[in-house]
Amino acid sequence: MKRKILNIPLALLLLFSGKALHAQERELSLAEALAMAAKGNKELQIQTLEEIRYKEITRETKSRLLPGISATAGYSRYFDRQVIFLPGTFAGTTNPVQDVAVGGKNAFNGFLSLNQPVFMENARRQKQAAELNEKIQKEKTTDLESRLAFQISASYFDLLLMNSQLSLQQQSLSRNNRALVDTRALFAQGRSLKVDTLRSYIAVENLRSSISYLRNNIEVSGIQLKRLIGLNEAVEIKPTDSLNVEQDQAEFYTLDQALKTAELNRHDIRLQKLSIEQQEKQLSVSKAERLPQASIIGQYQLQSQADNLSLGSYTVPRTSFLGFQVTVPIFNGNRTNAQINQARIKVRQENIRLNDVKEEMNAELAAIISRWKEANAQLHIQKTTVDAAELNYTMMNDRYQNGLSSRLELTDAELALTQGKINYLQSVYHLKVLYVELQRSLGLLKL
């Protein structure tokens, strides 16, 4: 009775621990993974904040064209009165120049200043350059999303492939275990050679090693995928999609079609064109440093001085003005010329870089389309091979059941079937990865 009572909490513990272990597995589709990455990926969060920062830089640049208003107030205590110098005749002396102490020992002043730019071409062009930088950051964010979508899709397909391979290897292990049992029984009866038993044993151990290796790789790939999508939970990811080839993935792009589509949609091409435009705008900003600047300026001032601090008896004279100020740059040590030359070099560099990006795009698309065609051909070959291997295994199994073939022949047929299915899965995997890579190279892949 006491033993039964002790077994009750143990059974409950095992029950709930089993549920807890089951809860550590999370089902995830590719669409869900991409949606999670759009919100949880750390690199994307950093780039989004960088985009917001450049918006603030644009606001800062625009402020140079807005009116500047400032208020200043101050108090000074003079231990000796302020001195001004006057002609001696004005001061009632015979000296050519006479110093005269004036003012109170306590001085108060306050003023309100206004500066409104009227013509400041370099500031206006800097504002346009800042707006271009903002567009560049938006394009960088979109480009990063495309690269992340490819990385996540490839990692997800890796998991799908390895899980499918694991299932096939486990099925093969089960069949080879049965073969090992049969071979040992036949050897014990003297109807089989020891080498057949040894061969079956080696096949089983090799399969166990492959399964262990696959499980470790699945765990590592799951960790990498969780990092990409921003999943911090200590769970094992179970992909719910399957390695099937959709109809649209079997269609071919011609190279000309691909190049036209990529020219319109690729984010690195857009980014490079914006970089050229931004450097040209920076060149115009440097040239604008040679232009004059004009501003409306004004000031309203209050001041008062006395020897005592009886503020109620102070008089507060007022002074105000409104004017127009023009500044003309004449010479600044050739600093502007050097900046203009630097900007011209940057424009040339960005144009060269654009040509290089286009050439790289052409080579990349040509290689992907070629590999894609080959992957489709391999898919059809492997499908035919699997069909033949299944027929061969069925025939060998029937022959073995009727005593017309050996266990060794059946084992070889089983190995060929398993390897054929694995090769077919790898062909599907390569085709799906190439399709996603092609979509990214065309600029059509998004989170």
> In whole angstroms, how far apart are CA 27 and each of 12, 119, 222, 240, 241?
26, 62, 12, 6, 10
Q: In this structure, what token pair is assigned to residue 406? A: 């050996």
Question: What is the pLDDT at residue 252?
Answer: 63
Confidence check: pLDDT of 273 > 80: yes
Residue from 442, 32, 382, 18 nearest 237 by CA: 32
Helix (H) or strand (E) holding 83: strand 82-87
Given a contact cutoff of 8 angstroms between Cβ atoms, the answer to whether 116 and 63 are in contact is no
Confidence check: pLDDT of 377 > 60: yes
Given a contact cutoff of 8 angstroms between Cβ atoms, the answer to whether 176 and 208 are in contact is no
Question: What is the pLDDT at residue 23?
Answer: 44
Label residues 130-159 b or e (16+ Cβ within 10 Å = b).
Answer: bbbbbbbbbbbbbbbbbbbbbbbbbbbbbb
Among 27-41, 87-101, 110-124, name the one with the lowest average pLDDT: 87-101
Confidence check: pLDDT of 6 > 50: no
Specify the amino acid at residue 85.
Answer: F
Q: Could you identify the residue written with the tokens 């807890």?
A: 20
DSSP state of 231: -
Among 80-89, 154-163, 425-434, name the one with the lowest average pLDDT: 80-89
Question: What is the pLDDT at residue 21?
Answer: 44
Question: What is the pLDDT at residue 410?
Answer: 84
Could you tell me which residues come within 8 angstroms of residue 278 by beta carbon, excluding any fewer than 6 positions away?
A: 129, 132, 133, 136
- Per-residue pLDDT reduced to its tens digit, 398-418: 888 887 877 778 888 888 999
Confidence check: pLDDT of 196 > 80: no
Dihedrals φ, ψ of 227, to 5°? Answer: -65, -40
| Mean pLDDT score, 310-326 | 88
Question: What is the pLDDT at residue 247?
Answer: 53
Q: What secondary structure does DSSP assign to 278-346, as a single string?
A: HHHHHHHHHHHTTS-EEEEEEEEEEEEEESS--GGG----EEEEEEEEEE----STTHHHHHHHHHHHH
- Per-residue pLDDT reduced to its tens digit, 27-80: 899 999 999 999 999 999 999 999 999 999 999 999 999 999 999 999 999 988
| Mean pLDDT score, 331-335 | 89
Task: Please state the domain extents for the chain.
Answer: 25-66+120-291+335-441, 71-118+295-328
106-119: strand order across its sheet: 68-77, 106-119, 293-306, 318-327
| Mean pLDDT score, 213-221 | 92
- Angle at alpha carbon of residue 295, lines to 292 and 301, rounded to 5°: 145
| Mean pLDDT score, 88-108 | 86
Question: What is the pLDDT at residue 16?
Answer: 46
Helix (H) or strand (E) holding 62: helix 42-62
> In whole angstroms, how far apart are CA 382 and each of 95, 288, 317, 385, 431?
115, 66, 98, 5, 13
Give the span between the Cα atoms of 408 and 413, in whole angstroms.
9
Confidence check: pLDDT of 15 > 70: no
Q: Could you identify the residue written with the tokens 């089902």?
A: 27
Using 50, 70 and 90 to split pLDDT, how confident is the model at 390? very high
Question: What is the pLDDT at residue 246?
Answer: 65
Given a contact cutoff of 8 angstroms between Cβ atoms, the answer to whether 340 and 282 are in contact is no
Q: In this structure, what token pair is assigned to residue 415? A: 């190995």
Given a contact cutoff of 8 angstroms between Cβ atoms, the answer to whether 212 and 220 are in contact is no
Among 70-79, 84-93, 114-123, 358-367, name the one with the lowest average pLDDT: 84-93
Using 50, 70 and 90 to split pLDDT, how confident is the model at 8? low
Given a contact cutoff of 8 angstroms between Cβ atoms, the answer to whether 416 and 385 are in contact is no
| Mean pLDDT score, 240-244 | 86
Specify the amino acid at residue 370.
Answer: S
In the CATH hierarchy, which top-level class contains the domain 25-66+120-291+335-441?
Answer: mainly alpha
Strand partners, 76: 107
- Per-residue pLDDT reduced to its tens digit, 354-375: 999 999 999 999 999 999 889 8
pTM of the model: 0.81
Using 50, 70 and 90 to split pLDDT, how confident is the model at 135? very high
Give the span between the Cα atoms of 392 and 164, in whole angstroms.
22
Give the span between the Cα atoms of 197 and 176, in whole angstroms.
11
- Per-residue pLDDT reduced to its tens digit, 150-195: 999 999 999 999 999 999 999 889 988 888 888 888 778 777 677 7
Confidence check: pLDDT of 298 > 90: yes
Confidence check: pLDDT of 139 > 90: yes
| Mean pLDDT score, 105-119 | 93
Could you tell me which residues come within 8 angstroms of residue 394 by beta carbon, excluding any fewer than 6 positions away?
A: none
Coil, strand or helix at 77: strand
> How far out from the chain centre does Cα 70 lie?
42
Confidence check: pLDDT of 88 > 90: no
Give the span between the Cα atoms of 302 and 305, in whole angstroms.
11
How, if at all, do strands 293-306 and 318-327 pair? antiparallel
Question: What is the pLDDT at residue 19?
Answer: 43
Specify the amino acid at residue 198.
Answer: L
End-to-end CA distance of the chain: 61
Question: What is the pLDDT at residue 102?
Answer: 87
Give the span between the Cα atoms of 226 and 329, in whole angstroms.
58
Could you tell me which residues come within 8 angstroms of residue 90 by beta carbon, excluding any fewer than 6 positions away?
A: 98
Could you tell me which residues come within 8 angstroms of residue 51 by beta carbon, excluding any fewer than 6 positions away?
A: 134, 137, 138, 140, 141
| Mean pLDDT score, 236-250 | 75
The overall average pLDDT reported for the chain is 87
Q: Could you identify the residue written with the tokens 């232009």?
A: 291
| Mean pLDDT score, 221-243 | 88
| Mean pLDDT score, 295-322 | 89
DSSP state of 236: E
